[in-house]
Structure 1
Amino acid sequence: MSIKTCFPKSCHAFLIVSKHRFEGQFHSHFEEKVRPYIDLIDSLRLLGIDDNLALPTIAVIGDQSSGKSSVLEALSGVTLPRGSGIVTRCPLHLKLRRIRGGVQWRAFISYKEECIQFDDPSLVEAYVRQAQNKLAGDGVGICEDLITLEIMSPLVCDLTLIDLPEIARVPVNGQPEDIEEQIKYLIRSFIERDEIISLVVVPCNVNIATTEALKMAQEVDPEGKRTLAILTKPDLIEKGTEKNILDVVRNQVIPLSKGYIMVKCRDQQQIDNKISLEEAARVERDFFKRHEYFSCLLNEDKATIQCLATKLTQHLVDHIKKSLPLLSEQIKKLLWDLRKELSQCEAGPPLDPQKKKDFYISILMKFNDKINCSATGEAGNEYNLFVQLRSEFRKWKDHLDSTKSPFHEKVQAVEKEYDLKYRGRKLPGFSDYSDFEMVVQRLVIQLRRPAIDTLRVIRETIQKQFSDVSRSCFPHYPYLQNVAMNKIDIIQSKQEAKVKQRILEQFEMEQLVYTQDGIYMKSLNETSLAVDVQKVSEDNFAGLDSRSKYPEMLKAYYEIVVERLADQVPMLILYFMLKESAQLLCNEMLGLMDGANVNEVLREESEVSRRRVNLQKRIDRLTLAQEKLSNFL
């Protein structure tokens, strides 16, 4: 049974209380069927779904001075901004909600971060003007930002629509030269969507075919399947044109599937006389009843604001029902695309507090694992530092070996210097052990600076590797990355100072000129063998001509020193700069778990993280929207 044939013509859906019990019961039943669908779309819009998908709604458009504001006032029961030029400067999302149970009138207006609740209908106009000035600036400019005005009253119909700026053809009063194109672009961005019903407001006293609003509606909806036209100002038409207007209303001039409705709203004189909207509705009905030509429109359900309200609600709900399956499929596809895009992003911290803490612990452990892998030197590990360090240690060993080649010249130079400065009364050739010690000490001390240089290079290599691990483990967490970098630098500095002290101590010990006898004999024999000299043992060593074997003896001991330093310096560096540093760093990072503000620690600052967060928010909104839709499908 259709609304058109059964809904009582006398039931004023938003201005008068039903006179008959049947009418009241029917209207209540109608509301129960309508309200959930309108609330559904409003809730989806509140979720921000219209940022991604077009939602079914009614967009109100019209040329300047078309009577659009008067129509909206009659529907909403409140006074909206009026005046010359562009009155609607921002899209106005008008939500009308009929309430029962003795609840008084109240409203909300919201835009950007503002949300104002009030209970005085006379404040609506001022609040809307204030919102437009904040969004579009003082003056005559327009803005695409949405203003939402929600009105709850026992005297309104259940309806949601969007009021768009009036089409201005000629810039006036400082308007931009392209104001017409700006407005048309904004209007077109709404009405070109298949989910939008275009409510076109056209004055009866102009040629309907010349109105810009209807032309735009025809461009995007050439068959008129989702266009409904309102004819205003029927009291201003010229005598003799009444039948032409009737032809328009009866769809015989520019056919529209949803047809035409004629209304007569308050004129300026009635506004000046402060005639209420309730009284204006009564005057409107009397006008059509008494009109010679237009009275028939009452019987055809094609006249009065009350008829318009009923049809708009009916069209909107029908349109919503028709759109829901497609909307559900669009949400499913968008969810699939967003989840796929999110899966390709680097994983970030979960939203759940406990899971976020677990995530925090896991990335710290991952960091420590990589640091430990760097320190242990396991084969096949990309973080293996030993490959780089071995190369540096080989350079140290090569430097030590390189000092052997000019050894004979250095020995002769030292001996000559000794003879000149220190020999005293001794004849040449009568050398003693102190000569031997002095030569060794002079040669060994020259190796101290290269050892410290090797330490510096190794420190830089290790610190760079540890820093790279920090960047790879905490790429989107600046707090953690800064903490790790600072700890790496502090620990490496302390350990470098410790190793430097140990190396210097090692060279101080080398001044003792000591090694085990057996080790020395082995080295001396290897040196003697190289120059084809008699093999030496502890038994015959005392009877040998020490002077004749002095170069070999010195060289043999120097070989021992070189071998000792070739291992000792790298071992000191490896232990303190790598192994102990890694342990200290891991302990320091684990200490961050105690009493940490996880939200602050995991605060992300990167394009990837912002993209991931935005994707997750969109997925959450769409998932909630899908759940809401499932209850209606």
Structure 2
Amino acid sequence: METLIPVINRLQEVFVTVGAEIVQLPQIIVVGSQSSGKSSVLESLVGRDFLPRGSGIVTRRPLVLQLVNVPPLVDRKQGESGVKAEEWGTFLHCKNKIFTDFGEIRVEVEEETERGSGDSKGISPEPIHLKIFSPHVLNLTLVDLPGITKVPVGDQPEDIESQVQDMILSFISNPNSIILAVSPANSDLATSDALKLAREVDPDGRRTLLVVSKLDLMDAGTDALEVLLGRVIPVHLGIIGVVNRSQHDINTQKSLADSARDEQAFLQRHYPSLASRCGSRFLARTLSRLLMHHIRDCLPELKTRVTVLTSQYQARLSSYGQPVEDHSATLLQIITKFASDYCSTIEGTARHIQTSELCGGARICYIFHETFGRTLQSIDPLAGLTELDILTAIRNATGPRPALFVPEVSFELLVKKQIKRLEEPSLRCVELVHEEMQRIIQHCSNYSTQELLRFPKLHDSIVEVVTSLLRKRLPITNEMVHNLVAIELAYINTKHPDFTDAAVVSASVNSQQVETLQDGGKRWKNDKAMEERAVAEKAKGPGSAYSSPSKGQAVNLLDTAVPVSRKLSTREQRDCEVIQRLIKCYFLIVRKSIQDSVPKTVMHFLVNFVKESFRVSWVRQLYKQPLLQELLVESQDMAQQRTEVARMLGALQKANQIISEIRETHLW
């Protein structure tokens, strides 16, 4: 199982090359505030001084530290590792260079930090990868993050605290990470910034290990026994106390080996019952054991994740298409595919059918039978025609002589006026269908082949051809619809089989008027009888229901309001009624005809014509040898995406190969 940590190290290097974080690898994240002793803890694990030190934020970029155990120099086989040194280090950004001087490693960390985050003491999320080979280390991988700070210093941005916290949270939010929280013993652990951040992502402490540093700096008479026993801060992975080197030890270059001996002596003196479970050496063994078991637990899920991503990126790379070799065939293929998608959207056989709104042929059908149909049905055949208009038309049609019958000319004059009102909604129907034909272009572009998205110039040219064709067909279709209405106006066919004969209408109106007059005569007789009875009652005297008028008061039955417009005569009422019925009857005939013929006209002159013509138009305008190279120039974004996807696919395939090398026997 010890081989698992090198496997994760190899996976880290693979995914670093593509700058990807899509695979969450098991790793140990070191978190702590400034001056908490993080650097001392890491150096004690390595046994060498190699980290920059100073005031303020020294660690300003994540440092991925991989410790690799190698045999001692005297025990190595000839040619093994190829390095004639006991310990050495390498950086991923300059992997061909070997650092045998750990002072040079410190300088390189400082210089690479400056290169990545500048000299203004700001931070950068881009990690530095350092690998240290030594016979004195255990296989281990840690990520050292910038220390938690409160107050910006120097040229640091005002929001440096939130920047650091966001960076830390982005790392420890990885559910496959182990959180190594470092808190000094000489401060209140209840207010530890490291533990506070750890609890945000790991509230139960199941993947948190607490390191209590600076045990030797606690106030006299106090100790951290209760904390180390887990009675104050509960964390699942345990609590380990360590003793850091003092600044005096660092200044006097006290060796880490001597510091380790002094640490064990201090623990034996002050914490004899916990001495075997504390200290830097125990911390290293614990971290190595935890990481190996954690990797073993995460490996099945990690393998599944890599396999799934490999399949997804393979599909993405395939969708970008191969480099164009035959320009003529590629162009013809793309044009044919777009034309097929356009026609399928109109016919309702497209692969991508929307469920949120009507589109294509369905919307055209809705325009014909709902929008246009309801608009025509809502037009009142007699709207805008008053009785005065009708009488005026009748009189103008008769000239100086009184008419014995309703003149036909007046009917034609008035019905044409009403039929003309059908033209505007008919032209609006054409406009709506034209707009939908334009929308279909965008719809097909959204769901078009990936090859079309690769070539923006070809896409724009295809859209322009369809748009131009639609633009040319619009006035032709409008003219035909205009002619449909003009045809109806050109000849008023009073012999239409559905049109009611004028004589029949006149007879029907006369019959109704006779019935109305008879009813009116009966009502007049009843009213006359009631009036006579009322006069008789008045003659009886003061006790009657009606009193006599007072002196000087006269009864004038003509004292009533006189209307401004006179009442129509019986003849005039009859003529108006006849004209109104005839207009309504004929208008409904024409409306029915227009409602049927306009959609047919639009389909023939616009929709079907475009469907049948744009293939020829595309080939005629685009399939030209000088244009082939220009139209099939791939977009820069698409080329960059293909490169990135290819790199990621290569990394995933390599990662899959690395994981597949692990045998079941290695897991136990």
- TM-score band by shorter chain is 0.5 to 0.7
- In the alignment, the residues of structure 1 paired with residue 115 and residue 17 of structure 2 have an alpha-carbon distance, to the nearest angstrom, of 23
C-alpha separation between the residues in 1 aligned to 2:275 and 2:18? Answer: 40
SS for the counterpart of 1:138 is: coil
1:193 aligns with 2:156: no
Query: Is 1:57 matched with 2:36?
Result: no
Would the aligned equivalents of 1:45 and 1:55 in 2 still touch at CA under 8 Å?
A: no
Q: Give the unaligned 5+ runs of structure 1.
A: 1-29, 350-358, 374-379, 383-471, 482-577, 593-601
The aligned counterpart of 1:110 is 92
Task: Tell whether the 8 Å contact from 1:44 to 1:50 is kept in structure 2 after alignment.
Answer: no
Alignment partners' CA distance in 2, 1:51 and 1:214: 25
Task: Tell me the SS of whatever aligns to 1:162.
Answer: strand
The reply on whether 1:366 has 2:329 as its aligned counterpart is: yes
Aligned length: 380
CA distance in 2 between partners of 1:124 and 1:473 (Å): 49
User: Post-superposition shift, 1:60?
Assistant: 0.4
- What is the CA deviation profile of residues 251-281 of structure 1, one whole-angstrom value per residue up to 9, with x for unaligned ones? 1111111011111121111111111112211
For residues 195 and 134 of structure 1, the distance between their equivalents in structure 2, rounded to whole angstroms, comes to: 30
Return the offset for 1:325.
1.1
Report the equivalent of 1:266: 245
* Change in CA separation of 1:247 and 1:116 when aligned onto 2, cut-off 3 Å: same
C-alpha separation in 1, matches of 2:190 and 2:282: 24
Which residue of structure 1 aligns with residue 49 of structure 2? 78
Bigger Cα displacement from structure 2, 256-265 vs 323-332: 323-332
> 2:643 is matched with which residue?
613
Aligned residues of 1:348 and 1:609 also touching (Cα < 8 A): no
Other structure's SS at 1:296 match: coil
Matches within 5 A, 1:17-28: none
Mapped to 1, the partners of 2:59 and 2:179 lie a distance apart of 17
AA partner of residue 366 (structure 1): A
- 1:330-409 alignment runs, 5 A limit: 330-345=305-320, 347-349=321-323, 360=325, 363-364=326-327, 366=329
| Structure 2 residue matching 1:239: 3-state secondary structure | coil
Is the contact made by 2:179 and 2:207 (CA closer than 8 Å) also made in structure 1?
yes
Instruction: Tell me the alpha carbon deviations over residues 212-255 of structure 1, each in whole angstroms, 9 at most, x when there is no partner.
Output: 1110001110111110011111111012321xx11111111111
Q: How far is the alpha carbon of 1:477 from its aligned partner?
A: 8.4
Identify the match of residue 69 of structure 1 among 29, 36, 39: 39
CA gap of 1:79–1:616, structure 2 versus 1, over 3 A, is closer
Q: For residues 368 and 623 of structure 1, do their structure 2 counterparts lie closer, same or farther at Cα, with a shift above 3 Å needed? A: closer
Q: Matched residues in 2 for 1:40 and 1:314: separation?
A: 19
C-alpha distance in 1 between matches for 2:105 and 2:196: 32
The 1:278/1:295 distance shift into structure 2, 3 A limit, reads same
Q: Write the distance in 1 (CA, Å) between the matches of 2:641 and 2:15.
A: 22
Structure 2 residue 292 is matched with structure 1 residue 317: yes
- Structure 2 CA distance for aligned equivalents of residues 367 and 38 of structure 1: 44
Distance in 2 separating the partners of 1:166 and 1:236 = 20
% identical aligned pairs = 35
Partner of 1:171: 152
Aligned to 1:89: 60
Q: Which residue of 1 aligns with 2:485?
A: none
Output the CA distance in 2 between the equivalents of 1:330 and 1:473. Answer: 29
SS at match of 2:274: helix
| 2:185 paired residue number | 204
* Counterparts of 1:344 and 1:81, CA distance in 2: 48
Shift of 1:49: 7.6
Distance in 2 between residues matched to 1:203 and 1:240, nearest whole Å = 17
- Counterpart CA distance in 2 for 1:216 and 1:342 is 39
Query: 1:120 is matched with which residue?
Result: 101
Match of 1:296 among 253, 269, 273: 273
Contact 1:49 1:622 in 2 (8 A): no
Whole-Å separation in 2 of the counterparts to 1:38 and 1:336: 21
Contact 2:9 2:141 in 1 (8 A): no
1 CA distance for matches of 2:125 and 2:331? 52
- Structure 2 unmatched runs, 5+: 74-83, 343-449, 459-618
Question: Does residue 1:220 correspond to 2:201, yes or no?
Answer: yes
Paired residue type of 2:185 = C
Counterpart mapping for 1:372-451 below 5 A = none
**Is the Cα contact below 8 Å between 1:38 and 1:159 reproduced in 2?**
no
Instruction: Answer yes or no: is the 8 Å Cα contact 1:221–1:227 preserved in 2.
Output: yes
| 8 Å Cα contact 2:18/2:647 also seen in 1 | no
Higher relative contact order (CA 8 A, sep 6+): 2
Question: What are the Cα deviations for residues 268-316 of structure 1, in whole angstroms up to 9, with x where unaligned?
Answer: 111111111122112211222222xx122123x2x11110000001111
Give the secondary-structure state (helix, strand or coil) at the position aligned to 2:92: strand
Q: In the aligned structure 2, how far is the partner of 1:213 from the partner of 1:36? A: 28
Is the contact made by 1:37 and 1:320 (CA closer than 8 Å) also made in structure 2? no
RMSD between aligned alpha carbons? 3.7
Match of 2:514 in 1: none
1:286 aligns with 2:286: no
* Structure 1 pair 139–43 and aligned structure 2 pair: CA distance change class (3 A): closer
Q: Which among 255, 268, 278 is matched to residue 276 of structure 1?
A: 255
Is 1:155–2:136 an aligned residue pair? yes
Determine the C-alpha separation between the residues in 2 that align with 1:219 and 1:115. Answer: 40
Secondary structure of the residue aligned to 1:266 is coil
Relative to structure 1, the CA distance from residue 49 to residue 87 in structure 2 (aligned partners, 3 Å threshold; closer, same or farther) is closer
Could you tell me which amino acid in structure 2 is paired with residue 240 of structure 1? G
Give the match for residue 234 of structure 1. Answer: 215
AA at the equivalent of 2:181: V
Give the Cα separation in 2 of the matches to 1:629 and 1:606. 35
Q: Show the counterpart of 2:545.
A: none
1:604 CA displacement:
5.1
2:67 partner SS? strand
Displacement of 1:154 after TM fit? 1.8
Q: Which of 137, 155, 170 is residue 118 of structure 2 equivalent to? A: 137
Cα distance in 1 for partners of 2:200, 2:58 equals 25
Q: What is the CA distance between 1:177 and its match in structure 2?
A: 1.2
Query: What amino acid maps onto 1:182 in structure 2?
Result: Q
- Tell me if structure 2 keeps the 8 A contact 1:37–1:317: no
Please report how far the alpha carbon of residue 48 of structure 1 lies from its aligned counterpart in structure 2 after TM superposition: 4.2
- Give the whole-Å Cα distance in 1 for the aligned partners of 2:299 and 2:331: 52
- 2:287 is aligned with what amino acid? L
Q: Kindly provide the CA deviation profile for residues 309-349 of structure 1, in whole angstroms up to 9, marking residues without a partner as x.
A: 0000111111111111111222233233333434443x123
Q: CA deviation at 1:43?
A: 4.3
1:84-114: CA deviation from partner (whole Å, max 9, x where unpaired): 1111100001111111151512211234x88
Q: In structure 1, what is the Cα distance between the partners aligned to 2:168 and 2:96?
A: 25
The Cα shift of 1:116 comes to 4.3
SS of equivalent residue, structure 2 residue 136: coil
Q: For residue 140 of structure 1, report the CA deviation from its aligned partner.
A: 1.5
CA distance in 2, matches of 1:365, 1:473: 14
Q: 1:216 to 1:71 in 2, by over 3 A?
A: same
Measure, in 2, the Cα distance between the counterparts of 1:332 and 1:35.
20
**Which one-letter code corresponds to 1:91 in the other structure?**
P
| Match runs of 1:32-43 below 5 Å | 33=3, 35-43=5-13
1:369 deviates by 8.1
Q: Deviations over 1:17-43 (max 9, x none)?
A: xxxxxxxxxxxxx85x45544444444
The answer as to whether partners of 2:88 and 2:134 remain within 8 angstroms in 1 is yes
The CA distance in 1 between the partners of 2:31 and 2:183, in whole Å, is 9
Taking the aligned partners of 1:277 and 1:325, their CA distance within structure 2 comes to: 39
Counterpart CA distance in 2 for 1:175 and 1:608 is: 38
Q: Give CA deviations for 1:386-418 in whole Å, capped at 9, x if unaligned.
A: xxxxxxxxxxxxxxxxxxxxxxxxxxxxxxxxx
